[in-house]
Amino acid sequence: MLKVSPVSDVQPNKELYLNRELGVLAFNRRVLAMAQEPHIPLLERLRYLCIVSSNLDEFFEIRVAGLQEQIRQNPDFFENDGMTVAETLRRVSQEAQELVDLQYRLLNQEVMPALKNEGIVFLTTNLWNEEQAHWAKQYFKSDVLPVLTPIGLDPAHPFPRVLNKSLNFAVELSGNDAFGRASRVGIVQAPRALPRLVRMPQAISGHPHAFVLLTSIMQAFVPDLFPGMEVHGVYQFRVTRNSDLYVDEEEITNLRVALQGELSQRHFGDAVRLEVSDQCSESMVRRLLKEFNLNEQALYRVNGPVNLVRLMQVPDLIDRPDLKFMQFTPGLPAALNVEPDIFAAIQKGDVLLHHPYQSFNPVLEFIKRAAQDPHVVAIKQTIYRTGTDSALMEMLLAAARSGKEVTVVLELMARFDEEANIQWASKLEQVGAHVIYGVVGQKTHAKMLMVVRREKSNGGKTVLRRYVHLGTGNYHPRTARLYTDFGLFSCDDALGQDVHEVFNHLTGLGRAKKLNKIWNSPFNLHANVVAAIRKEADNAREGKKARIMARMNALLEPHVINELYAASQAGVKIDLIVRGVCTLRPGVPGLSEHITVRSVVGRLLEHSRVFYFYNGGQEDVFISSADWMDRNFFRRVELAVPITDRRLKKRVLDEGLKVLLADNLMAWGMHSDGSYTRKKPTGKRRVHAQLQLLSNLTVNFKDPLLEVPSAD
């Protein structure tokens, strides 16, 4: 039997841990598999292709950039799985190249031909007839040419600074220009103001929905920018840069000012990936690699647009409901149907929302009512991501204008949302709200909202009652339609005191007090999770029933992984639902044979975090903002909230764990080597978790496009 290290001693070990970066790429393979499914609506298949590109962009900007930085600082560093950083980078490049090749083959050989059959075409230059070429030429002259700036490389015109992920063209030239210069290379950067996708009129295209990519237009007519020169090739390219922000937390005196200074440089970090069209000449490829200080390992040749993310808008531009997932109307929990007054409903008992199957509107209504209610004296909320256009934030602004005490703990370091959050911070401060940026070095990732309301008690005495909302997802109305998350409304006094105390941790000074019910990091969440796992192991050794179920986005923290191994060795049955990367090895005899890991990838992004411990029959159930990762346990402010109401606990178990564990159509089972296999029905029972929840919780939902053909 392989013994795991004690909690205090974690060493790199390939027998215990899988590689994190390879796990991220494995997740994207599962997403890409959605684009391969013939039963998925066609425009949604295109969307999945684009999602993979978006995911890979962030993967290179953050994870691969981090590996390259680690090589510079400590090339001998070993990952937890025992690989050196250089070996990890080599494996990542190999796996990513295979993934990208598959992605473009799928685009060109399956999705694009199928779209063409439906009257949706992308007209490349080789497909233009004379009339279409004339239309494209006129569009280039009127809408594109006036904003282009061609740059011929010579001693007076060095290689330009290229923005992160921007579209650019390298032009191979010969001949002399008007000044007698003999430049061999020109660079044309496509301004960000230009649309990357242009609709061609049906009368000219001959198709109901015809689009021309900006890349096609520029490749056809960029030679016009170099009159008198001979153009031998025009090649699109795109460079991805390190986009992680670095702020010296020991030196800064104003986090907001420091971040504003860093944001302006995000677009010009060190290059980590070069994408070029597959027709690009070898000489131009070598020139570009040299300019960006990259090696062949960072080069990605693609057969198509270098930025598939730009095609994400296509489904929204086409009115073809038959080629998309059927729309649904989110439902409401029974408590809010019976009692529409949100405060009155919460007074009668805790209220659970399961998004997006159930509406996010009650959360917005809660804040709106709080902003307008003369009995409400204070509103406190954490904000991690909410977007640039947010009705929720407007309500907080209105509450502050009306004279209520509004406190917002706004996380400025929410990756890729820093700029939006800075803008909201400024607006809130202008209307007199208290804006706190959390704790330097500890991202505030907890999802909590508290409303303090002046009410009459049963005895007629005026009291202040705390109403709280605690969730697993961000206060972002748009993603609340796409991400699965739980949210709990309560006016339980113990929970209210806990939330009040956590806000005091964030806004004030002093030692953290022990909370009544909530587990929170960085203080006791990790220790309590470890203790709960150990208790299940102890019970199993004593011959008692023991059970762990947990659902999260990622499982990486090695101490918790070791405790799960030890619990498995004690005989605890452990079922884990991990959407993304998992570095635990399941199903290893003598180590983790009682642990299963599965990932569910479907129409909706699985985002809820739910923890279950049998605990001698007490059956402890928590919803949480935290994944089981180092950062969530030790470098973030996170909450795990117990569900104590018997009916709501059953709902979380049934809707948040059991149905996903029963899914045999959209779930993937993980093997001990980190690979995944799609689950298949073994009998007549076929379970599609998301479809089942859509059918049970939304209003009159029936989507035949999600009916999966029989595995037989």
Summarize the annotated binding site as residue ranges: 55, 385, 415, 483, 579, 607
Both structure tokens of 602: 């479907």
Cα diameter, the chain: 95
Strands 620-624 and 609-613: antiparallel
Strands 462-471 and 609-613: unpaired
Annotated binding site for Mg(2+): 385, 415
Q: Which residues of 187-211 are buried (b: 16+ CB within 10 A; e: fewer)?
A: bbbbeeeeebbbebeeebbeeebbb
Partnered with residue 675 across adjacent β-strands are none
Q: Is 671 one of the catalytic residues?
A: no
The CA-CA-CA angle for residues 25, 29, 33, to 5°, reads 165
Partnered with residue 381 across adjacent β-strands are 408, 449
SS3 622: strand
Alpha-carbon distance of 344 to 335, in angstroms, equals: 10
Both structure tokens of 373: 């209610």
Alpha-carbon distance of 307 to 275, in angstroms, equals: 9
First-to-last CA distance in the chain?
Answer: 40
Both structure tokens of 166: 């921007």
Which of 445, 469, 476, 594 does the annotation list as catalytic?
445
Identify the helix (H) or strand (E) that includes residue 104: helix 85-106
Q: C-alpha dihedral over 662, 664, 667, 669, to 10 degrees?
A: 90
Residue 206 DSSP symbol: S
Structural contact between residues 168 and 236, judged by C-beta atoms closer than 8 angstroms: yes
Q: What's the alpha-carbon Rg for the chain, to the nearest Å? A: 28
Closest CA to 404 of 362, 432, 423, 381: 432
Structural contact between residues 214 and 198, judged by C-beta atoms closer than 8 angstroms: yes
Q: Please give the C-alpha separations between residue 632 and each of 8, 68, 160, 165, 523, in angstroms, as whole numbers.
A: 18, 24, 40, 29, 11
Structural contact between residues 43 and 318, judged by C-beta atoms closer than 8 angstroms: yes
Neighbouring C-beta atoms of residue 161, cutoff 10 Å: 8
- Decide: residue 710, CB within 10 A, 0-12 exposed, 13-18 middle, 19+ buried: exposed
Structural contact between residues 551 and 657, judged by C-beta atoms closer than 8 angstroms: yes
Annotated binding site for ATP: 55, 483, 579, 607
Alpha-carbon distance of 420 to 586, in angstroms, equals: 40
Closest CA to 623 of 589, 600, 648, 595: 648
Alpha-carbon distance of 712 to 710, in angstroms, equals: 5
Closest CA to 632 of 609, 650, 660: 609
Strands 185-189 and 676-678: unpaired
Catalytic (active-site) positions = 445
